[in-house]
Structure 1
Amino acid sequence: MRRRRRPGSLRGGRADAMAPILDHLVLDVRDRMAAGAARLAALGFQLTPMGKHSLGSANHLAVLAEDYLELLGTDIPGGALRPDIAAYPVGLNGLVFKTGDARALAGDLVARGVPALPAHEFHRPVDLPDGARDEARFRTTRLDRAAAFDGRIYWCEHLTPQHVWRKEWQAHPNGALSVARVLVAARDPERQAAMFRRMFGEDAVRAGEDGRVLLPCGPAVVEVAPHALVQAELGAAAPDPAGRGDHMVLVALRVSDLAATAALLRAQGIAPDARPGGLRVAAEPALNATLDFLA
Protein backbone atom coordinates (compact mmCIF):
# COMPACT_ATOMS: atom_id res chain seq x y z
CA MET A 1 0.00 0.00 0.00
CA ARG A 2 1.57 3.29 -1.04
CA ARG A 3 1.74 5.80 1.79
CA ARG A 4 2.25 9.55 1.67
CA ARG A 5 5.35 11.01 3.27
CA ARG A 6 4.77 11.18 7.00
CA PRO A 7 5.47 14.10 9.34
CA GLY A 8 8.92 14.02 10.87
CA SER A 9 10.54 12.49 7.81
CA LEU A 10 13.80 13.88 6.52
CA ARG A 11 13.96 16.77 4.13
CA GLY A 12 17.26 18.45 3.43
CA GLY A 13 19.05 16.21 5.97
CA ARG A 14 17.05 17.13 9.08
CA ALA A 15 13.60 16.58 10.54
CA ASP A 16 11.01 18.75 8.81
CA ALA A 17 8.36 20.93 10.44
CA MET A 18 6.39 18.43 12.44
CA ALA A 19 2.77 19.10 11.59
CA PRO A 20 0.96 16.80 14.04
CA ILE A 21 -0.82 13.87 12.43
CA LEU A 22 -2.50 11.27 14.61
CA ASP A 23 -1.16 7.74 14.19
CA HIS A 24 -3.14 5.83 16.80
CA LEU A 25 -4.66 5.81 20.27
CA VAL A 26 -3.84 3.25 22.93
CA LEU A 27 -6.52 1.67 25.11
CA ASP A 28 -4.77 -0.06 27.97
CA VAL A 29 -6.60 -3.20 29.08
CA ARG A 30 -3.90 -4.59 31.40
CA ASP A 31 -4.55 -8.34 31.81
CA ARG A 32 -8.16 -8.08 30.56
CA MET A 33 -7.38 -8.48 26.88
CA ALA A 34 -10.26 -10.87 26.21
CA ALA A 35 -12.83 -8.57 27.84
CA GLY A 36 -11.52 -5.52 25.99
CA ALA A 37 -11.52 -7.31 22.65
CA ALA A 38 -15.05 -8.63 23.24
CA ARG A 39 -16.28 -5.13 24.03
CA LEU A 40 -14.74 -3.58 20.92
CA ALA A 41 -16.20 -6.38 18.81
CA ALA A 42 -19.64 -5.75 20.34
CA LEU A 43 -19.23 -2.08 19.42
CA GLY A 44 -18.77 -3.16 15.81
CA PHE A 45 -15.00 -3.09 15.33
CA GLN A 46 -13.12 -5.77 13.44
CA LEU A 47 -9.92 -6.58 15.31
CA THR A 48 -6.64 -7.89 14.02
CA PRO A 49 -5.38 -11.23 15.38
CA MET A 50 -3.54 -10.88 18.65
CA GLY A 51 0.02 -9.67 18.21
CA LYS A 52 2.87 -10.23 20.65
CA HIS A 53 5.55 -7.57 20.81
CA SER A 54 9.23 -8.20 21.30
CA LEU A 55 8.82 -5.81 24.26
CA GLY A 56 6.68 -8.40 26.05
CA SER A 57 3.20 -6.95 25.51
CA ALA A 58 0.23 -8.15 23.48
CA ASN A 59 -2.23 -6.19 21.36
CA HIS A 60 -5.19 -6.12 19.01
CA LEU A 61 -5.79 -3.29 16.53
CA ALA A 62 -8.92 -1.74 15.07
CA VAL A 63 -7.36 -0.42 11.87
CA LEU A 64 -8.99 2.60 10.24
CA ALA A 65 -8.17 4.51 7.05
CA GLU A 66 -5.06 6.37 8.30
CA ASP A 67 -5.07 5.75 12.07
CA TYR A 68 -6.19 3.03 14.47
CA LEU A 69 -7.15 2.04 17.99
CA GLU A 70 -4.82 -0.29 19.86
CA LEU A 71 -5.78 -2.56 22.74
CA LEU A 72 -2.59 -3.03 24.72
CA GLY A 73 -1.73 -5.23 27.68
CA THR A 74 -0.90 -8.86 28.32
CA ASP A 75 -2.72 -11.93 27.09
CA ILE A 76 -1.97 -13.74 30.36
CA PRO A 77 -4.63 -13.19 33.08
CA GLY A 78 -2.78 -11.94 36.12
CA GLY A 79 0.41 -11.69 34.06
CA ALA A 80 3.10 -9.07 34.51
CA LEU A 81 2.80 -5.92 32.44
CA ARG A 82 5.51 -4.15 30.48
CA PRO A 83 7.20 -1.72 32.91
CA ASP A 84 6.37 1.40 30.90
CA ILE A 85 2.63 0.63 30.88
CA ALA A 86 2.28 -1.08 34.27
CA ALA A 87 1.29 2.13 36.08
CA TYR A 88 -1.68 2.91 33.85
CA PRO A 89 -5.25 1.76 34.57
CA VAL A 90 -7.69 0.41 32.01
CA GLY A 91 -8.61 3.25 29.67
CA LEU A 92 -7.30 5.66 27.05
CA ASN A 93 -3.69 6.34 28.02
CA GLY A 94 -1.68 6.62 24.78
CA LEU A 95 -1.67 9.50 22.28
CA VAL A 96 0.54 8.63 19.33
CA PHE A 97 1.61 10.82 16.41
CA LYS A 98 3.13 9.83 13.07
CA THR A 99 6.76 10.30 12.17
CA GLY A 100 8.84 9.20 9.21
CA ASP A 101 12.13 9.19 11.14
CA ALA A 102 11.95 8.61 14.90
CA ARG A 103 15.71 8.92 15.42
CA ALA A 104 16.01 12.29 13.71
CA LEU A 105 12.85 13.45 15.43
CA ALA A 106 14.18 12.57 18.90
CA GLY A 107 17.26 14.69 18.33
CA ASP A 108 15.26 17.58 16.91
CA LEU A 109 12.85 17.55 19.85
CA VAL A 110 15.64 17.56 22.42
CA ALA A 111 17.35 20.41 20.58
CA ARG A 112 14.17 22.44 20.95
CA GLY A 113 13.84 21.71 24.67
CA VAL A 114 11.26 18.95 24.43
CA PRO A 115 12.07 16.12 26.89
CA ALA A 116 11.99 13.29 24.35
CA LEU A 117 13.61 9.92 25.01
CA PRO A 118 15.93 8.17 22.54
CA ALA A 119 14.22 6.23 19.76
CA HIS A 120 13.90 2.49 20.17
CA GLU A 121 12.82 -0.29 17.81
CA PHE A 122 10.62 -3.33 18.35
CA HIS A 123 8.56 -5.80 16.35
CA ARG A 124 5.85 -8.43 16.42
CA PRO A 125 5.14 -11.42 14.16
CA VAL A 126 2.39 -11.07 11.57
CA ASP A 127 0.76 -13.69 9.36
CA LEU A 128 0.47 -12.70 5.71
CA PRO A 129 -2.49 -13.44 3.44
CA ASP A 130 -0.45 -16.00 1.46
CA GLY A 131 0.27 -18.01 4.60
CA ALA A 132 3.81 -16.74 5.08
CA ARG A 133 5.00 -15.03 8.24
CA ASP A 134 6.86 -11.75 8.57
CA GLU A 135 7.44 -9.07 11.21
CA ALA A 136 5.65 -5.77 11.70
CA ARG A 137 8.44 -3.42 12.80
CA PHE A 138 8.24 -0.06 14.53
CA ARG A 139 10.54 2.65 15.79
CA THR A 140 9.24 5.09 18.40
CA THR A 141 10.35 8.06 20.44
CA ARG A 142 8.50 8.94 23.60
CA LEU A 143 7.95 12.09 25.59
CA ASP A 144 9.23 11.86 29.14
CA ARG A 145 6.28 10.85 31.31
CA ALA A 146 6.66 13.82 33.65
CA ALA A 147 6.15 16.27 30.76
CA ALA A 148 2.74 15.03 29.59
CA PHE A 149 -0.71 14.52 31.01
CA ASP A 150 -1.23 11.32 33.01
CA GLY A 151 -0.64 9.08 30.01
CA ARG A 152 1.90 8.49 27.26
CA ILE A 153 2.69 10.73 24.30
CA TYR A 154 4.94 9.32 21.62
CA TRP A 155 5.67 9.20 17.90
CA CYS A 156 5.61 6.01 15.84
CA GLU A 157 7.60 5.33 12.69
CA HIS A 158 6.08 2.38 10.83
CA LEU A 159 8.91 0.50 9.17
CA THR A 160 6.43 -1.97 7.63
CA PRO A 161 3.14 -0.04 7.23
CA GLN A 162 1.87 -2.68 4.79
CA HIS A 163 1.61 -5.07 7.74
CA VAL A 164 -0.74 -2.71 9.61
CA TRP A 165 -2.98 -0.99 7.04
CA ARG A 166 -4.37 -4.05 5.27
CA LYS A 167 -7.67 -3.66 3.45
CA GLU A 168 -9.19 -6.78 4.98
CA TRP A 169 -8.72 -5.26 8.44
CA GLN A 170 -10.16 -1.84 7.61
CA ALA A 171 -13.80 -2.84 7.03
CA HIS A 172 -15.73 -2.53 10.30
CA PRO A 173 -19.36 -3.58 10.85
CA ASN A 174 -20.00 -0.25 12.58
CA GLY A 175 -18.71 1.66 9.53
CA ALA A 176 -15.82 3.30 11.41
CA LEU A 177 -13.56 5.33 9.10
CA SER A 178 -11.25 7.51 11.19
CA VAL A 179 -10.65 9.18 14.50
CA ALA A 180 -12.30 12.60 14.60
CA ARG A 181 -11.78 13.86 18.15
CA VAL A 182 -9.74 13.03 21.23
CA LEU A 183 -10.76 14.69 24.49
CA VAL A 184 -8.34 15.21 27.38
CA ALA A 185 -9.48 16.45 30.79
CA ALA A 186 -6.92 18.79 32.37
CA ARG A 187 -6.71 21.02 35.40
CA ASP A 188 -4.72 23.56 33.36
CA PRO A 189 -5.12 23.12 29.59
CA GLU A 190 -2.58 25.86 28.94
CA ARG A 191 0.17 23.75 30.51
CA GLN A 192 -0.42 21.05 27.92
CA ALA A 193 -0.78 23.70 25.20
CA ALA A 194 2.68 25.01 26.05
CA MET A 195 4.16 21.55 25.53
CA PHE A 196 2.28 21.10 22.25
CA ARG A 197 3.74 24.39 21.03
CA ARG A 198 7.24 23.23 21.87
CA MET A 199 6.56 19.94 20.13
CA PHE A 200 4.89 21.24 16.98
CA GLY A 201 5.37 25.01 16.78
CA GLU A 202 3.42 28.05 17.90
CA ASP A 203 0.91 27.90 15.05
CA ALA A 204 -0.08 24.29 15.74
CA VAL A 205 -2.24 25.11 18.76
CA ARG A 206 -5.53 26.97 18.64
CA ALA A 207 -7.63 28.46 21.40
CA GLY A 208 -11.12 27.01 21.80
CA GLU A 209 -14.09 28.20 23.82
CA ASP A 210 -14.14 28.35 27.62
CA GLY A 211 -10.45 27.72 28.09
CA ARG A 212 -10.22 24.74 25.76
CA VAL A 213 -7.07 24.10 23.73
CA LEU A 214 -7.24 22.55 20.25
CA LEU A 215 -4.48 20.68 18.43
CA PRO A 216 -5.59 19.84 14.87
CA CYS A 217 -3.97 16.59 13.74
CA GLY A 218 -4.95 16.15 10.11
CA PRO A 219 -8.55 14.89 10.03
CA ALA A 220 -8.60 14.59 13.83
CA VAL A 221 -8.39 17.16 16.61
CA VAL A 222 -7.02 16.72 20.11
CA GLU A 223 -9.02 18.85 22.52
CA VAL A 224 -7.76 19.63 26.02
CA ALA A 225 -10.52 20.97 28.27
CA PRO A 226 -10.83 21.91 31.94
CA HIS A 227 -12.11 19.15 34.21
CA ALA A 228 -15.33 21.01 34.95
CA LEU A 229 -16.20 21.36 31.25
CA VAL A 230 -15.49 17.69 30.60
CA GLN A 231 -17.69 16.68 33.51
CA ALA A 232 -20.45 18.97 32.29
CA GLU A 233 -20.28 17.41 28.81
CA LEU A 234 -19.94 13.75 29.74
CA GLY A 235 -21.71 13.46 33.08
CA ALA A 236 -22.37 9.82 33.94
CA ALA A 237 -20.87 8.73 30.59
CA ALA A 238 -17.38 9.76 31.73
CA PRO A 239 -14.71 7.15 32.47
CA ASP A 240 -13.38 6.46 35.94
CA PRO A 241 -10.19 8.51 36.44
CA ALA A 242 -8.80 5.54 38.41
CA GLY A 243 -6.23 7.71 40.12
CA ARG A 244 -5.30 9.72 37.05
CA GLY A 245 -5.20 13.51 37.14
CA ASP A 246 -5.07 15.01 33.64
CA HIS A 247 -6.16 12.16 31.40
CA MET A 248 -7.74 11.12 28.11
CA VAL A 249 -11.47 10.53 28.42
CA LEU A 250 -13.10 10.22 24.99
CA VAL A 251 -12.49 9.25 21.40
CA ALA A 252 -14.91 10.16 18.62
CA LEU A 253 -14.93 8.23 15.34
CA ARG A 254 -16.41 9.09 11.98
CA VAL A 255 -18.64 6.39 10.50
CA SER A 256 -20.03 5.86 7.03
CA ASP A 257 -23.70 5.46 8.03
CA LEU A 258 -24.78 6.65 11.46
CA ALA A 259 -28.19 4.98 11.28
CA ALA A 260 -26.57 1.65 10.48
CA THR A 261 -24.16 2.13 13.38
CA ALA A 262 -27.05 2.82 15.73
CA ALA A 263 -28.88 -0.30 14.54
CA LEU A 264 -25.80 -2.45 15.06
CA LEU A 265 -25.29 -1.14 18.59
CA ARG A 266 -28.93 -1.75 19.50
CA ALA A 267 -28.69 -5.28 18.12
CA GLN A 268 -25.76 -5.84 20.51
CA GLY A 269 -27.82 -4.59 23.45
CA ILE A 270 -25.94 -1.28 23.59
CA ALA A 271 -28.13 1.79 24.00
CA PRO A 272 -26.19 4.85 22.82
CA ASP A 273 -27.29 8.36 23.66
CA ALA A 274 -28.26 10.38 20.60
CA ARG A 275 -26.43 13.67 20.24
CA PRO A 276 -26.43 16.30 17.48
CA GLY A 277 -24.71 14.59 14.56
CA GLY A 278 -23.78 11.49 16.50
CA LEU A 279 -24.11 8.82 19.15
CA ARG A 280 -22.39 8.46 22.52
CA VAL A 281 -21.58 5.21 24.30
CA ALA A 282 -20.82 5.59 27.99
CA ALA A 283 -17.59 4.31 29.50
CA GLU A 284 -17.78 0.90 31.14
CA PRO A 285 -15.23 -1.35 32.89
CA ALA A 286 -13.86 -3.31 29.90
CA LEU A 287 -12.53 -0.18 28.15
CA ASN A 288 -13.11 2.67 30.65
CA ALA A 289 -13.37 5.20 27.81
CA THR A 290 -16.26 7.15 26.34
CA LEU A 291 -16.87 6.57 22.62
CA ASP A 292 -18.68 8.84 20.19
CA PHE A 293 -19.74 7.87 16.68
CA LEU A 294 -20.16 10.81 14.28
CA ALA A 295 -21.74 11.18 10.87
Structure 2
Amino acid sequence: MAAAGLESQGRIDFRRKMTLPDGRDDEAVVSLALFIDPELPDASNFICHQHRPELIWVRGWQNHPNGADGILAITYLADPERLEPRWRAIYGNAVTYNGAALEADTRCGVLRAIDAATAALEFPGVELPAITRERPHAISIRLRTTSLNDLRAILARNDVAHHEIRGHEIPDRVLVAPHAAGNVILDFVQSI
Protein backbone atom coordinates (compact mmCIF):
# COMPACT_ATOMS: atom_id res chain seq x y z
CA MET A 1 0.00 0.00 0.00
CA ALA A 2 2.95 2.30 0.64
CA ALA A 3 4.14 1.56 -2.92
CA ALA A 4 0.71 2.75 -4.13
CA GLY A 5 1.30 6.12 -2.45
CA LEU A 6 -0.46 5.66 0.87
CA GLU A 7 1.34 7.02 3.91
CA SER A 8 2.09 4.41 6.55
CA GLN A 9 2.49 5.02 10.27
CA GLY A 10 4.36 1.76 10.62
CA ARG A 11 3.58 -1.53 12.25
CA ILE A 12 2.34 -2.48 15.69
CA ASP A 13 2.95 -6.00 17.02
CA PHE A 14 1.15 -7.28 20.08
CA ARG A 15 0.19 -10.43 21.93
CA ARG A 16 -2.99 -11.27 23.79
CA LYS A 17 -3.52 -14.07 26.27
CA MET A 18 -6.61 -16.12 25.61
CA THR A 19 -8.44 -19.20 26.83
CA LEU A 20 -9.30 -21.76 24.17
CA PRO A 21 -12.71 -23.48 24.09
CA ASP A 22 -11.16 -26.59 25.67
CA GLY A 23 -9.91 -24.51 28.64
CA ARG A 24 -6.21 -24.37 27.70
CA ASP A 25 -4.41 -21.03 27.85
CA ASP A 26 -2.62 -19.73 24.76
CA GLU A 27 -1.55 -16.46 23.20
CA ALA A 28 -2.68 -14.75 20.00
CA VAL A 29 0.06 -12.88 18.11
CA VAL A 30 -1.02 -10.00 15.88
CA SER A 31 0.66 -7.43 13.62
CA LEU A 32 -1.12 -4.30 12.41
CA ALA A 33 0.15 -2.12 9.56
CA LEU A 34 -1.37 1.36 9.85
CA PHE A 35 -2.37 3.53 6.88
CA ILE A 36 -4.17 6.45 8.52
CA ASP A 37 -5.03 9.52 6.45
CA PRO A 38 -5.41 12.55 8.76
CA GLU A 39 -7.97 13.96 6.30
CA LEU A 40 -10.01 10.73 6.48
CA PRO A 41 -9.59 9.51 10.07
CA ASP A 42 -12.87 7.56 10.04
CA ALA A 43 -12.29 6.11 6.56
CA SER A 44 -8.67 5.02 6.81
CA ASN A 45 -7.21 1.52 6.75
CA PHE A 46 -5.05 -0.96 8.57
CA ILE A 47 -3.93 -4.44 7.67
CA CYS A 48 -4.15 -7.15 10.32
CA HIS A 49 -2.00 -10.27 10.24
CA GLN A 50 -2.91 -13.08 12.63
CA HIS A 51 0.30 -15.06 13.14
CA ARG A 52 -1.68 -17.92 14.69
CA PRO A 53 -5.01 -17.92 12.82
CA GLU A 54 -5.98 -21.30 14.23
CA LEU A 55 -6.57 -19.53 17.57
CA ILE A 56 -9.00 -17.03 16.01
CA TRP A 57 -10.87 -19.12 13.43
CA VAL A 58 -12.61 -21.47 15.86
CA ARG A 59 -15.66 -23.14 14.26
CA GLY A 60 -17.78 -22.87 17.41
CA TRP A 61 -17.21 -19.12 17.58
CA GLN A 62 -18.57 -18.77 14.05
CA ASN A 63 -22.04 -20.11 14.87
CA HIS A 64 -24.27 -17.24 15.93
CA PRO A 65 -27.90 -17.66 17.07
CA ASN A 66 -28.93 -14.89 14.65
CA GLY A 67 -27.54 -16.92 11.75
CA ALA A 68 -25.00 -14.26 10.75
CA ASP A 69 -22.25 -15.95 8.79
CA GLY A 70 -20.49 -13.17 6.92
CA ILE A 71 -19.93 -9.47 6.39
CA LEU A 72 -21.00 -8.54 2.87
CA ALA A 73 -20.37 -4.78 2.87
CA ILE A 74 -19.37 -1.73 4.87
CA THR A 75 -21.08 1.47 3.69
CA TYR A 76 -19.58 4.92 4.21
CA LEU A 77 -21.41 8.22 4.10
CA ALA A 78 -19.09 10.28 1.93
CA ASP A 79 -18.79 12.00 -1.39
CA PRO A 80 -17.71 8.94 -3.40
CA GLU A 81 -15.15 11.04 -5.29
CA ARG A 82 -13.40 11.78 -1.99
CA LEU A 83 -12.74 8.09 -1.26
CA GLU A 84 -12.15 6.97 -4.84
CA PRO A 85 -8.40 7.82 -5.08
CA ARG A 86 -7.62 6.00 -1.82
CA TRP A 87 -9.64 2.93 -2.74
CA ARG A 88 -8.13 2.80 -6.24
CA ALA A 89 -4.63 2.92 -4.70
CA ILE A 90 -5.52 -0.11 -2.58
CA TYR A 91 -7.90 -2.13 -4.79
CA GLY A 92 -7.09 -0.94 -8.33
CA ASN A 93 -9.59 -2.05 -10.97
CA ALA A 94 -11.81 -3.67 -8.32
CA VAL A 95 -13.23 -0.16 -7.69
CA THR A 96 -16.32 0.61 -9.77
CA TYR A 97 -19.51 2.64 -9.65
CA ASN A 98 -22.79 0.82 -9.11
CA GLY A 99 -25.26 3.60 -9.83
CA ALA A 100 -24.51 6.40 -7.35
CA ALA A 101 -22.47 4.10 -5.08
CA LEU A 102 -18.71 3.75 -5.36
CA GLU A 103 -17.82 0.13 -4.59
CA ALA A 104 -14.49 -1.54 -3.88
CA ASP A 105 -14.48 -5.33 -3.98
CA THR A 106 -11.95 -6.30 -1.31
CA ARG A 107 -12.43 -10.05 -1.99
CA CYS A 108 -13.62 -10.25 1.64
CA GLY A 109 -16.65 -8.02 1.19
CA VAL A 110 -17.41 -4.71 -0.47
CA LEU A 111 -16.61 -1.19 0.67
CA ARG A 112 -19.28 1.26 -0.47
CA ALA A 113 -19.37 5.07 -0.48
CA ILE A 114 -22.70 6.85 -0.88
CA ASP A 115 -23.88 10.42 -0.43
CA ALA A 116 -26.64 11.55 1.94
CA ALA A 117 -29.37 11.47 -0.72
CA THR A 118 -28.51 7.88 -1.64
CA ALA A 119 -28.34 6.93 2.06
CA ALA A 120 -31.86 8.28 2.61
CA LEU A 121 -33.12 6.06 -0.21
CA GLU A 122 -31.14 3.02 0.88
CA PHE A 123 -32.06 3.17 4.58
CA PRO A 124 -35.64 4.52 4.59
CA GLY A 125 -37.15 5.02 8.02
CA VAL A 126 -33.82 4.59 9.83
CA GLU A 127 -31.86 7.46 11.36
CA LEU A 128 -28.25 7.61 10.27
CA PRO A 129 -25.53 7.20 12.93
CA ALA A 130 -24.83 10.25 15.11
CA ILE A 131 -21.62 12.12 14.37
CA THR A 132 -19.70 14.87 16.14
CA ARG A 133 -18.00 16.17 12.99
CA GLU A 134 -19.10 16.13 9.37
CA ARG A 135 -16.57 13.89 7.62
CA PRO A 136 -16.57 10.54 5.77
CA HIS A 137 -17.50 7.72 8.14
CA ALA A 138 -19.01 4.24 8.14
CA ILE A 139 -22.77 4.11 8.57
CA SER A 140 -23.70 0.47 8.01
CA ILE A 141 -22.51 -3.11 8.07
CA ARG A 142 -24.37 -5.47 5.74
CA LEU A 143 -24.43 -8.96 7.24
CA ARG A 144 -25.48 -12.20 5.64
CA THR A 145 -27.70 -14.43 7.76
CA THR A 146 -28.95 -17.95 7.13
CA SER A 147 -32.45 -17.04 8.37
CA LEU A 148 -34.14 -13.66 8.58
CA ASN A 149 -36.96 -15.38 10.48
CA ASP A 150 -34.57 -16.55 13.23
CA LEU A 151 -33.03 -13.07 13.31
CA ARG A 152 -36.46 -11.42 13.63
CA ALA A 153 -37.36 -13.75 16.52
CA ILE A 154 -34.13 -12.92 18.38
CA LEU A 155 -34.62 -9.18 17.87
CA ALA A 156 -38.25 -9.40 19.06
CA ARG A 157 -37.36 -11.56 22.08
CA ASN A 158 -34.74 -9.01 23.13
CA ASP A 159 -36.91 -5.95 22.41
CA VAL A 160 -34.51 -4.65 19.75
CA ALA A 161 -36.37 -2.28 17.46
CA HIS A 162 -35.82 -3.04 13.81
CA HIS A 163 -37.12 -1.94 10.44
CA GLU A 164 -38.05 -4.28 7.60
CA ILE A 165 -37.58 -3.60 3.92
CA ARG A 166 -39.47 -6.03 1.72
CA GLY A 167 -37.76 -6.35 -1.63
CA HIS A 168 -39.14 -6.79 -5.09
CA GLU A 169 -35.96 -6.49 -7.12
CA ILE A 170 -33.69 -6.72 -4.06
CA PRO A 171 -33.64 -9.27 -1.23
CA ASP A 172 -35.63 -8.63 1.95
CA ARG A 173 -33.61 -6.73 4.55
CA VAL A 174 -33.84 -6.24 8.31
CA LEU A 175 -32.24 -3.03 9.60
CA VAL A 176 -31.24 -2.46 13.22
CA ALA A 177 -30.96 1.25 13.98
CA PRO A 178 -27.69 2.80 15.19
CA HIS A 179 -28.99 3.58 18.68
CA ALA A 180 -29.38 -0.18 19.26
CA ALA A 181 -26.17 -1.27 17.51
CA GLY A 182 -23.17 0.76 18.62
CA ASN A 183 -23.92 3.76 16.36
CA VAL A 184 -23.97 1.81 13.10
CA ILE A 185 -26.85 0.40 11.04
CA LEU A 186 -26.84 -3.40 10.99
CA ASP A 187 -28.27 -4.37 7.60
CA PHE A 188 -29.15 -8.08 7.48
CA VAL A 189 -29.90 -9.98 4.28
CA GLN A 190 -30.58 -13.69 3.96
CA SER A 191 -28.14 -15.90 2.10
CA ILE A 192 -29.63 -17.50 -0.96
TM-score, length of structure 1 as denominator length: 0.58
Task: Check conservation: 2:75, 2:114, Cα contact below 8 A.
Answer: yes
Which one of 85, 110, 114 corresponds to residue 194 of structure 1?
85
| 2:16 is the alignment partner of 1:127 | no
Aligned to 1:281: 176
Q: Displacement, 1:147?
A: 5.2
Spell out the pairing of 1:52-201 with structure 2 (5 A cutoff): 109-146=1-38, 148=40, 150-186=42-78, 188-201=79-92
For residues 238 and 263 of structure 1, what CA distance do their matches in structure 2 show?
A: 24
Deviations 1:259-295 (A, max 9, x none): 1111111111123211122211111066111111111
**Root-mean-square deviation (CA), in Å?**
1.8
For residues 190 and 152 of structure 1, what CA distance do their matches in structure 2 show?
A: 15
For residues 143 and 242 of structure 1, what CA distance do their matches in structure 2 show?
A: 23
Task: Check conservation: 2:161, 2:180, Cα contact below 8 A.
Answer: no
Task: Check conservation: 2:91, 2:104, Cα contact below 8 A.
Answer: no
For residues 155 and 47 of structure 2, what CA distance do their matches in structure 1 show?
A: 33
Task: Check conservation: 1:237, 1:281, Cα contact below 8 A.
Answer: no
| 2:112 is the alignment partner of 1:223 | yes
| 2:146 is the alignment partner of 1:259 | no
Aligned to 1:243: 133
AA partner of residue 126 (structure 1): M
**Which SS does the other structure have where 2:14 is aligned?**
strand
TM-score, length of structure 2 as denominator length: 0.87
For residues 288 and 114 of structure 1, what CA distance do their matches in structure 2 show?
A: 28
Task: Check conservation: 1:149, 1:192, Cα contact below 8 A.
Answer: no
**Closer, same or farther in 2 for the Cα pair 1:198/1:147, shift >3 Å?**
farther
Deviations 1:31-69 (A, max 9, x none): xxxxxxxxxxxxxxxxxxxxxxxxxxxxxxxxxxxxxxx
For residues 137 and 250 of structure 1, what CA distance do their matches in structure 2 show?
A: 29
Point out where structure 1 has 5 or more consecutive residues left out of the alignment: 1-108
**Closer, same or farther in 2 for the Cα pair 1:132/1:158, shift >3 Å?**
same
**Which SS does the other structure have where 1:122 is aligned?**
strand
Q: Displacement, 1:236?
A: 3.7
**Which SS does the other structure have where 2:156 is aligned?**
helix
AA partner of residue 8 (structure 2): A
For residues 285 and 266 of structure 1, what CA distance do their matches in structure 2 show?
A: 13
Task: Check conservation: 1:117, 1:142, Cα contact below 8 A.
Answer: yes
For residues 65 and 29 of structure 2, what CA distance do their matches in structure 1 show?
A: 28
Aligned to 1:207: 97
